[in-house]
Structure formats: structure tokens, C-alpha cells
């Protein structure tokens, strides 16, 4: 096998041939590198709890994999509670503190701004811990689970995200309980007989650490208002990953040190241990994921050259939603690859002009230097393991792609490609 040394070429994913994966499972195809997910879990070992925001990549095999790494899980819907249980998570914590004096961690936490009726039923049925993003949730839960302990998701009054759509703090965000409302909400919780055992803030996704760090200070102020019932603080998610050439990984140890100092000040004040959680989604799975597509047509529109592939924004929506950049590479059919790079726009099969993978924020079509490719060559879209498959849709009546896990040089199907029958299931004339 020829190494993928030339720029823009990739013949393997974690030691497995891209061509073989495409041949075996068809395209478009999601592929995850298990070892990369494990490595990202271990990067965060300093934190007492790493809680995976499964909405980033909720395939059961991925949940099982992070569970085996000791990572706990967040659920934002009834469906995500169901997935967590199906992947082997137990619904509630052992009632005993761990050897280091820390309070027990909840294996599954339901975090949301509302309960729909089904999620309230599921939480009550399984006794799942709730992180409340609105005061109404507290009262609705109190009626069904009197005396339960809860955590509060706080909106600190500011936020950041890689896009306005991923900013989850400030007045422009619907998320969390507004910081100035906390004293009132604490009174309502007390009145309802509920114990506030922790605080959580999540201000945005994929932002930079300097902004995320402001959260620690804001959380500390609110923690003091909550007082001694507090035994857990969560830094939320939002850890960035490098997507573009030249971007680098963030300073995770500096970030931990800052939060650890906040936690220790609160421990000194309250005289007991406080569990420190982090809640990454993107960080754990983004870099593990690849979309393998086949180039089906190459055409010129005036001076611009387009590669049209069999994946569209029904497969990977981040470019059309956020103008997100994903690295791409070509896996040529034959052994002799083109060494020549050419500027191309990459698009999909959908009947919509926004179906372009090389677009910038605002929907402008851009180009990318890629090795010259033709119909039948494969194109690999990289760093697609977070907010990839989970945002895929059936638009244009396209089946959801298959998902494959690569581990230790072998590969297995972890979700079958949808069939035409799947597409019309539940419909009738
Ligand atoms: C989406 C989300 C996360 C994860 O965000 P990432 O940017 O993927 O790390 C964490 N916590 C909550 C509550 C979320 O909604």
C-alpha cells in the first residue's frame, strides 16, 4: 500500500484502507477511529468527571466506547436517555461518596431548558438527575419527584461560540437561568422542597479558552449565593478542536488549573469536597470522524471547477449551517495519484444551491486546493465526528449513511445504511 504522504491525499484511516471501507460499506460513509476517541477521553483525566455531551455523536458504539473509558454522559432528550441506557449506563449514582471524599457522580444527567411530557416521564421512571435550565422545570419535577436534588444551569449574562448559532450565553441565548434570577430561583427551589447540589454553565461551542475561562469567575459568584448545599460544579463544554490548517490544540492543563483553583476556593469556603466536571462534546469525537464520499462528476461552471460527490448537507450539515471548514483529501482509485493540486469547489447531490462543502459563513462558495480527481475517486471529509451524523437528515429522500468503527486495524458496522423502506416507514396513503 502506498503511504498518504503527498498533500491532500489519504489512503488510510487508522491503518484501514479507505478504498476497502468504501467497497465494503458503500458511500457516503461515516468512519470513526476508536483510538482517537480514547486518546481524547484520556486528555481530560485531570477532571473528576468527564461527561460526554452525546448530542455531538450518539451512536451506541461510541457511547459504549467512552463509557469504558470512565466517561459519564449528558442527555438532552428522551431519546438520549434511551441511548445512554441502551449503551450500558446505569440511571443513577451509587449513594456512597468515593474514597477521595467526593460526592458520587450521576452517570446520566438530563440537561435542558424544558421537560417535554415524555422526558419528564423518563426522568421520573429511571430516577435520572436533572440539570434545570428554567425555574418551571424545578416545580414540574418537584411534583413528580419530591425532595430530589437538582443542579442549575446558569446563564452568566455573556456567551461565546464559533457561530451566533452556537453561542449559549447572554441575552441572545434562551439557555440556562439568568444569573440575576438565581436568588429568586433558589427561593422557588426551597419552597418546592428541592436541594440545589450543583451549578453548571455552558456558554458556547468551539470558542477559545480565554473566553471559556471567564465562566469560572462567574460561576464562583453564583456558587456563593447557593451556599453549602453545593457539591458539584460543571465547566460545561465548548472545548475547541483545530479544524483549519495552522490551528492548534488548546492549553487544557492551564484551563484545568484555573477551574481547579475555583473549586478549591469553594471547598475552603464550604468546608467540604466539590466535584469538578467538564462536559465536552466536540472535543471527544470530532477528530475521530471521517466521511468517505465518491466523486461522481467533475464540471466547470465558467472558470470555476466543481467536484460533485455523493454526500450532501443531508450527510454533513456543518458547512451549510455554520459555514464550517472541514479538511478534505482525495483517495485516488489507482496507485498513481495526481501530484498536481487544483482549486476546486466541492458540492453534493441535493437540489439546492447551498449544497456546498467548501462554503464560508454567509453561504459564499469558496474553493480548496485538492489533488486532481475524477469520477470514481474517493473524497474524504475530515474532522467530521462531532455534529456530523447526528445532524444528518433524509432531505431529498436520501437514506441516512452507514457508520463504521475502526479499532486496532479492524473495522465493523455500527449502524446500517437506511434502506428505501426505512424512508417511508410509518407513512401511508
Ligand atoms: C452542546 C453542549 C455541550 C457540548 O458542547 P461542545 O461544544 O460540543 O463541547 C455541553 N453541554 C451542553 C449543555 C450542551 O448543550
Grid coordinates of 263:
473549586
**Which residue among 37, 44, 54, 56 has the greatest number of ligand 1 atoms within 8 angstroms of its CB, and so is best to mutate?**
56
pLDDT score at 272? 96
Please name the residue that has the C-alpha cell 447551498: 354
With cut-offs at 50, 70 and 90, classify the pLDDT of residue 3: very low
Is any atom of ligand 1 closer than 6 Å to the C-beta of 80? no
Looking from the CA of residue 55, the nearest atom of ligand 1 is 1
Give the distance (Å) from ligand 1 centre to CA of residue 84.
Answer: 16
Q: Are 34 and 15 in contact (CB under 8 A)?
A: no
Q: Find the helix or strand (DSSP H, E) in which 124 lies.
A: helix 117-126
| pLDDT for residue 96 is more than 80 | no
Q: Are 194 and 149 in contact (CB under 8 A)?
A: yes
Outline where DSSP puts E strands in 265-401: 275-278, 289-301, 304-309, 328-331, 341-347, 359-360, 364-365, 368-371, 378-382
Give the distance (Å) from ligand 1 centre to CA of residue 265.
Answer: 26
Looking from the CA of residue 205, the nearest atom of ligand 1 is 7
Among 49-58, 95-104, 205-214, whose mean pLDDT is lowest? 205-214
| pLDDT for residue 124 is more than 80 | yes
When the pLDDT of each residue in the chain is averaged and rounded to a whole number, the result is 94
Q: Find the helix or strand (DSSP H, E) in which 154 lies.
A: strand 149-155
DSSP, collapsed to helix, strand or coil, labels residue 222 as: helix
Is any atom of ligand 1 closer than 6 Å to the C-beta of 277? no
- Please state, in angstroms and rounded to a whole number, the distance separating the CA atoms of residues 154 and 134: 9
Peptide bond preceding 28 in cis form (omega within 30 of 0)? yes
Among 34-38, 137-141, 239-243, 334-338, whose mean pLDDT is lowest? 334-338
pLDDT score at 337? 67
Outline where DSSP puts E strands in 201-317: 232-234, 275-278, 289-301, 304-309
- Please state, in angstroms and rounded to a whole number, the distance separating the CA atoms of residues 168 and 154: 10
Average pLDDT over residues 111-131: 97
Average pLDDT over residues 245-267: 93
Q: Are 226 and 199 in contact (CB under 8 A)?
A: yes
Instruction: Give phi and psi for 408, each to the nearest 5.
Output: 55, 40
Grid coordinates of 426:
410509518
Quick one: how far is CA 287 from the chain centroid? 11
Q: Are 184 and 191 in contact (CB under 8 A)?
A: no
Most confident range, picked from 3-12, 133-142, 168-177: 133-142
Is any atom of ligand 1 closer than 6 Å to the C-beta of 236? yes
- In the beta sheet, which residues pair with residue 49? 277
- In the beta sheet, which residues pair with residue 132? 112, 152
Give 50's contacts (C-beta < 8 A, 6+ positions apart): 41, 44, 70, 71, 72, 277, 278, 279, 280, 284
Count of C-beta atoms within a 10 Å radius of residue 333? 14
Average pLDDT over residues 214-218: 88
- Percent of the chain at pLDDT above 70? 97
Inter-axis angle of helices 209-226 and 182-191, nearest 10: 50
Q: What is the DSSP-derived secondary structure letter of residue 416?
A: P
Give the distance (Å) from ligand 1 centre to CA of residue 212.
Answer: 12
The catalytic site residues sit at 351
Q: Can you give 4-25 as a three-state secondary structure string?
A: CCCCCECCEECCEEHHHHHHHH
Quick one: how far is CA 16 from the chain centroid? 25
Global pTM value: 0.95
pLDDT score at 160? 76
**Of residues 2 and 233, more confidently modeled:** 233
Q: How far is CA 123 from CA 75, 82, 89, 109, 196, in A?
A: 10, 10, 14, 9, 17
Is any atom of ligand 1 closer than 6 Å to the C-beta of 234? no
Closest CA to 391 of 37, 55, 84: 55
**Of residues 142 and 103, more confidently modeled:** 142
Give the distance (Å) from ligand 1 centre to CA of residue 203.
Answer: 9
Closest CA to 44 of 266, 241, 221, 223: 241
Q: Are 170 and 148 in contact (CB under 8 A)?
A: no
pLDDT score at 5? 55
pLDDT score at 7? 82
Among 80-89, 151-160, 255-264, 301-310, whose mean pLDDT is lowest? 151-160
Q: Are 41 and 252 in contact (CB under 8 A)?
A: no
Is any atom of ligand 1 closer than 6 Å to the C-beta of 83? no
Amino acid at each position: 500500500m502506498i503511504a498518504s504522504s503527498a498533500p491532500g491525499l489519504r489512503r488510510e484511516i487508522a491503518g484501514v484502507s479507505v478504498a476497502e471501507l468504501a467497497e465494503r460499506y458503500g458511500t457516503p460513509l461515516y468512519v470513526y477511529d476508536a483510538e482517537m476517541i480514547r486518546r481524547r477521553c484520556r486528555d481530560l483525566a485531570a477532571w473528576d468527571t468527564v461527561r460526554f455531551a452525546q448530542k455531538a455523536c450518539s451512536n451506541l458504539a461510541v457511547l459504549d466506547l467512552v463509557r469504558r473509558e470512565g466517561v459519564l454522559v449528558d442527555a438532552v432528550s428522551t431519546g438520549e436517555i434511551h441511548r445512554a441506557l441502551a449503551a450500558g449506563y446505569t440511571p443513577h449514582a451509587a449513594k456512597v461518596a468515593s474514597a477521595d471524599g467526593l460526592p458520587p457522580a450521576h452517570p446520566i444527567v438530563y440537561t435542558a431548558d424544558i421537560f417535554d411530557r415524555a422526558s419528564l416521564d423518563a426522568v421520573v421512571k429511571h430516577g435520572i438527575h436533572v440539570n434545570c435550565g428554567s425555574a418551571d422545570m424545578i416545580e414540574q419535577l418537584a411534583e413528580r419527584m419530591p425532595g430530589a436534588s437538582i443542579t442549575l444551569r446558569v446563564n452568566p449574562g455573556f456567551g461565546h461560540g464559533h457561530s451566533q448559532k452556537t453561542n449559549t450565553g447572554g441575552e441572545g441565548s434562551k439557555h440556562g437561568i439568568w444569573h440575576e434570577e438565581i436568588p429568586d430561583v433558589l427561593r422557588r427551589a426551597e419552597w418546592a422542597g428541592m436541594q440545589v447540589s450543583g451549578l453548571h454553565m455552558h456558554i458556547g461551542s468551539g470558542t477559545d479558552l480565554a473566553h471559556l475561562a471567564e465562566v469560572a469567575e462567574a460561576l464562583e459568584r453564583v456558587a456563593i449565593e447557593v451556599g453549602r448545599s453545593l457539591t458539584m460544579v460543571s465547566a460545561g463544554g465548548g472545548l475547541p478542536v483545530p479544524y483549519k490548517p495552522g490551528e492548534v490544540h488548546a492549553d487544557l492543563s492551564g484551563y484545568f488549573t484555573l477551574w481547579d483553583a475555583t473549586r478549591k476556593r469553594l471547598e475552603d469556603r464550604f468546608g467540604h469536597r466539590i466535584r469538578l466536571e467538564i462536559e465536552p462534546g466536540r472535543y471527544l469525537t470530532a477528530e475521530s470522524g471521517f466521511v468517505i464520499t465518491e466523486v461522481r462528476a467533475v464540471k466547470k461552471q465558467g472558470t470555476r471547477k466543481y467536484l460533485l460527490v455523493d454526500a450532501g448537507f443531508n450527510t454533513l450539515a456543518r458547512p451549510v449551517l455554520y459555514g464550517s471548514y472541514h479538511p478534505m483529501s482525495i483517495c485516488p482509485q489507482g496507485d498513481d495519484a495526481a501530484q498536481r493540486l487544483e482549486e476546486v469547489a466541492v458540492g453534493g447531490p441535493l437540489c439546492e444551491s447551498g449544497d456546498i462543502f467548501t462554503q464560508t459563513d454567509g453561504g459564499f462558495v469558496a474553493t480548496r486546493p485538492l489533488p486532481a480527481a475524477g469520477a470514481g475517486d474517493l473524497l474524504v471529509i475530515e474532522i467530521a465526528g462531532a455534529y456530523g451524523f447526528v445532524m444528518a437528515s433524509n432531505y431529498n429522500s436520501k437514506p441516512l449513511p452507514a457508520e463504521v468503527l475502526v479499532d486496532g486495524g479492524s473495522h465493523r458496522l455500527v449502524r446500517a445504511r437506511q434502506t428505501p423502506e426505512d424512508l417511508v416507514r410509518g407513512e401511508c396513503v
